[in-house]
Structure 1
Amino acid sequence: MTIKQFEYKPLAHYSYAIISDGKMAVVDPERDPSQYYAFAKANNAEIVAVIETHPHADFVSSHLEIHKTTGATIYNSEELGADYPHKSFDSGDHIELGQITLKAINTPGHSPDSITIVATQGDETAMFTGDTLFIGDVGRPDLREKAGNMQAKREELAEMMYETITTKFTDLPDDALVYPAHGAGSLCGKNLSDANSSTLGNERMGNWAFKKQTKEEFMDVLLDGQPFIPSYFGFDVDLNKTGADNLESSINGVPLSEGTTATGIIVDTRDEESFKNGHLEGSFNIQAVSDNAKFETWLGSIIKPEEKFTMVLDHKDSEKKLLNRIAKIGYEKIILKTITLPKDFLAITEKLDVQDFEKNPDNYTIVDIRNTSEIEEGKIFESALPHPLNELRDTASEIPTDKPIVVHCAGGYRSAAGSSILQSILEDVTIYDLSDDVKKFQD
C-alpha cells in the first residue's frame, strides 16, 4: 500500500494520503487541500474518500472542500453529529480502497467521537490513530467539556481512554504501523515524541499508557499537567463539525489597504525589531516571520474567536501567505482587513539596558509569561511574577506598575507578544522586552 504523510510544522499536524489501484483516501486533511490534489495527480489517482478521525480542535480541516471539489465521500463516526454530507464510519464498517481494506474502530478518549482507521493489505497493517494514540503518549481528554455536539467531562473521557488503550487494539499485530495526527509541539497531548510514526509493538513497550496499571493510576497520569487550552479550540471543533468554506474564496474576501488606519484589535505580524522601531499604538506583536513559528497557536490563544482584528503586514506581497496561515485555524472570518503601515505617527518601544537590569534587577518588576508547566519546572528569575501569555490580557491589571516592567519567556518569541500586550493595557509605566537576552540568565 502507498501511504504519504504530510506535515504542517507550526501546528505539528500530520495528515495522510492512502493510494491503491488509482484510488486515494485522505485522512485528517489540513485547511489547504492543494497538496492532496497534487499528490493524487502525480500518482494518477482519484480522491474517493476523506476520513475524519474526529472534529479537530487545533486546526480547520478541508474535508468539505475536498468533497465539493472532487465528489469524494466524507466518512466519520456517527457519534460526531456532522452537519455536512457524510457516511458513518464506526466499528464494524469498512471501505474498500483498491486492494486495501479500511476498517473503523471507535476509540473514544480524546473525544467521545474519535475513531482509529485500520488499513490492511495482505500481511501489511497501518493504523491512523488521529488524536487517540500518539507516539509516546495519548490524546488529552479535557477539550470537549465546553465544545462540540457531544460534550463530556474530562474524567469520563479519561476513563474512556483507558478502556480504548486496554481493549481496542488487542487484536492488532505488533508490526502494525502507527500514524498519528500530531507530533511533538502539539497542544493535543503533553509528552509527544519527535518521531512521526511507530509500530504498535514499540508503543506497547515504550508508551506509558500501555504499561500495566490500574484505571485510577492511568487516569491520574492522563489528567495531570495537561497544557493550556487556546481560545480557538472550541471554535474549531464547531467549525469542523459544520465544515469550513472554500479556502481561496474565504481568504480572497479579506480587504487589503496600504498605509491606512486600523480598526478593532491590531495584530502586527512583523518581526520584533521592525515592530519596536515603529508600530501603531496598542498593537499586539504576534510574529509570523518564520515558517515554523507557532504563529497560529498564539494568534488563537491571544485573540478570542468572537473578537475582530486588523492584521499588519510587512509588505502587501506577504498577504496571501499570512491569510493562508490564519485560515488554518479559521480566523480569516474575523479579520476586518489587512494593512501595511503608514510612515508617520508610529509608536516606538524603548530598548532595555540589559547591563543595568543584570546589576539592579530589584529596580524592575519581572513578568514571566511562559506556560504554567514551564514555570513549575523552575524560575529563571526568583522574583518574577507568573503571568502565562495565554492569560495575560486578563491578568495584566494585577501587575504592579510602580517600577519599569521587564517581560521574559524562554527564548524571546513570546515576550515580544507579551510586552506589546502590556504596553497596550497598562498606563504610566515603561514596558521592556528582555527578548532573546533571556538566554544570558539561563543555566
Structure 2
Amino acid sequence: MKIKQFEYKPLAHYSYAVVSNGEMAIIDPERDPEQYYAFAKANNAKIVAVLETHPHADFVSSHLELQKETGAIIYNSEKLGADYPHQTFDDGDSIKIGNATLEAINTPGHSPDSITIVATENNDTALFTGDTLFIGDVGRPDLREKAGNMQAKREELAKMMYQTITTKFNELPDDAVVYPAHGAGSLCGKNLSDAASSTLGDERRDNWAFKKQSKKEFMDTILDGQPFIPSYFGFNVDVNKIGAENLQPAISKVPFEKESTATDLIIDMRDEASFKKGHLPGSINIQAGSENAKFETWLGSIVEPKEAFTLVIDSEDSKDYMLNRVAKIGYEKQLKKVITLSDENLMKTEQLDVADFKKNPEKYTIVDIRNISEVEDGKFFESAISHPLNQLRDTADDIPTDKPIVVHCAGGYRSAAGSSILERQLKDAKIYDLSDAVNDFK
C-alpha cells in the first residue's frame, strides 16, 4: 500500500492517494484533479474510488469531476445526502483497492456526516480522519448550523465529537498513521500542529482531546475560542453536496481583458507596493503574490458567495493561476472578468509617516483588524478599536473619521486589505496602512 499526501498550502489542505496492486483511491481531493491523474499515470494505477470524509466547507472538491473523467465510484456517508452518483460508506462498510482494504467508521463531531477511513494492508494501518482528528486537535463543531443537508447545533456536535473521541478509535492500534485533511493555518480547527501526520499512539498521548476529562470539560474546551467562520464556508458545503462543475470548462468561461477598467466590486491581487503605487478607485487589495498567501480564505471572507466582482491581476501570465485559485472556493461563477491595468486613471495610496505615528499616536484613530481571539490575547495599542477584517465591510461606517485612520493587523498582510476597504468606503477620511511596521510595536 503506497500513500501519497498532496498539500495545498494556502488552505492548509491535505488530500491523499492510496495505491495498491494497480488500483488507486483518492481521498478528499481538491478542485484541480490534474495532480491525481499524474500520480496515477506515474504509478501505472487506475483510479477506481474517490472518498469524501464529509462535505468540505473551506474548499471545493473535484470528486464529481474525477467520477465523470475516470468512472471511479464516489463513496461517502449516507448521512451526507449527496446529490451526485455515489455509494454510501458507513460503519461496517469496506472496499478493496488492490490488496488494501478501506473501511468506514462514522465519526461525527465536526459535522454529522463525517467518516474516518481505515486503510489496511498486511500489518500497515492508516487513518484518513478528514476534519475529525487533526494532529494536536479535533475539528471545530460550529460550521453546520446554517449549511448542509443536516443542520446541527454546535453543542450537539460537540457532544458527538466527545463520543467519537472516547469510543470510535479504541480498537485501533497505536502504530496506525493518522492522516488529517488539514494542518496548521486551517480555520477548520484552532490549535492544529505543523506536523503533516502522526500516529494514533502519539495523539492518544499528546492531543488534548484524548486526555481523561468529563464531557463538560471536553465541550468547554472545544467550543471556546474557535476562529471566525468565513462567509463562503456554508456555500462550499452546499456546492460539495451537489458536486462542482469540471474545473477547466468553468474557468474558461471567465472573460479576460488587457489594460482594462472596472467599477463596482474590484479585487486586486497584486502585491501591496504595486497596489499602493496605482490602482482602480474602490479596489480591495487581497494579495496573492506567494503560494502561501491566504488569498482564498480572505477572498471568501470579504466577498460574499454569489456577489459579482472583477479581478485585477499583475500580468496576463498570472491569469490561469489566479483563475485556479478563485475556483478553489467555487467563486469562478461570480467572477465578471479578469483584467490587467493600464497606467491611466489610477489612484495612489499615501504612505504613513511612521516616525510621526510613533511620536504622536493620539493624533490617529487606530483600527485593529485582527480576529477577536487575537485581540483578546493582547492589544498592540491601548487606544485601538477592534474591527475584524472579515466584518470590516459591514462595520466601516462605525469608525470615527475626525482623525487620520491607521489600520493594523499582526504582520502586515491583512492590513493591506483592511486599509483598502476603508479607503473604498470612507471616501472623505485619510486612511493609512501600518503594514509590516506593526512589528516595531509588538
TM-score per shorter chain, which class? over 0.9
State the secondary structure of the residue aligned to 1:85: coil
Measured after TM superposition, the shift of residue 263 of structure 1 is 3.9
Measured after TM superposition, the shift of residue 262 of structure 1 is 1.1
Kindly indicate whether residue 47 of structure 2 is the aligned counterpart of residue 47 of structure 1: yes
Which residue of the partner structure matches residue 385 of structure 1? Answer: 385
- Counterpart residue type for residue 419 of structure 1: S
Which residue of the partner structure matches residue 233 of structure 1? Answer: 233
Distance 1:140 1:367 in 2: 29
State the secondary structure of the residue aligned to 1:427: coil
Measured after TM superposition, the shift of residue 429 of structure 1 is 1.1
Distance 2:67 2:263 in 1: 36
Matches within 5 A, 1:190-269: 190-269=190-269
Distance 2:297 2:287 in 1: 11
Matches within 5 A, 1:165-180: 165-180=165-180
Contact 2:278 2:349 in 1 (8 A): yes
Distance 1:229 1:307 in 2: 18
- Counterpart residue type for residue 52 of structure 1: E
User: Which structure 1 residue ranges, 5 or more long, are not aligned?
Assistant: none
Which residue of the partner structure matches residue 70 of structure 2? Answer: 70
Matches within 5 A, 1:42-441: 42-441=42-441
Contact 2:368 2:388 in 1 (8 A): yes
State the secondary structure of the residue aligned to 1:259: strand
Identity among equivalent positions (%) equals 74
Deviation by residue 1:40-91 (Cα, 9 ceiling, x = unmatched): 0000000000000000000000000000000000000010000000000000
Deviation by residue 1:379-417 (Cα, 9 ceiling, x = unmatched): 111111111100111111111000000000111110000
- Counterpart residue type for residue 264 of structure 2: G
Deviation by residue 1:262-318 (Cα, 9 ceiling, x = unmatched): 143100111111111111100000011111100000000000012100000111111
Measured after TM superposition, the shift of residue 427 of structure 1 is 2.6
Kindly indicate whether residue 37 of structure 2 is the aligned counterpart of residue 37 of structure 1: yes
- Counterpart residue type for residue 65 of structure 2: E
Deviation by residue 1:10-59 (Cα, 9 ceiling, x = unmatched): 00000000000000000000000000000000000000000000000000
Contact 1:411 1:436 in 2 (8 A): yes
Distance 2:300 2:349 in 1: 24
Measured after TM superposition, the shift of residue 441 of structure 1 is 1.0
Measured after TM superposition, the shift of residue 94 of structure 1 is 0.3
Measured after TM superposition, the shift of residue 218 of structure 1 is 0.4
Contact 1:263 1:336 in 2 (8 A): no
Equivalent pairs counted in the alignment come to 442
Contact 1:263 1:309 in 2 (8 A): no
Measured after TM superposition, the shift of residue 428 of structure 1 is 1.4
Distance 1:86 1:390 in 2: 35
- Counterpart residue type for residue 374 of structure 1: E
Distance 2:69 2:264 in 1: 35
Distance 2:260 2:194 in 1: 43
- Counterpart residue type for residue 100 of structure 1: A
Contact 1:369 1:418 in 2 (8 A): yes
Range with bigger deviation, 49-58 or 92-101: 92-101
Distance 1:55 1:264 in 2: 32
Measured after TM superposition, the shift of residue 421 of structure 1 is 0.0
Measured after TM superposition, the shift of residue 124 of structure 1 is 1.1
Distance 2:9 2:280 in 1: 30
- Counterpart residue type for residue 308 of structure 1: A
Contact 2:76 2:86 in 1 (8 A): yes
Runs of 4+ with >4 A deviation: none
Deviation by residue 1:339-392 (Cα, 9 ceiling, x = unmatched): 111211111101100000000000000000011111111111111111110011
Distance 2:109 2:9 in 1: 25
Deviation by residue 1:224-247 (Cα, 9 ceiling, x = unmatched): 000000000000000000000110
- Counterpart residue type for residue 165 of structure 1: I
TM-score, normalised via structure 1 length: 0.99
Distance 1:275 1:147 in 2: 36
CA-based RMSD of the aligned residues comes to 0.6
Contact 2:306 2:331 in 1 (8 A): no
TM-score, normalised via structure 2 length: 0.99
Distance 2:42 2:428 in 1: 60
Distance 1:263 1:355 in 2: 35
Distance 2:2 2:419 in 1: 48
Measured after TM superposition, the shift of residue 198 of structure 1 is 0.5
Contact 2:250 2:332 in 1 (8 A): yes
Distance 1:72 1:216 in 2: 43
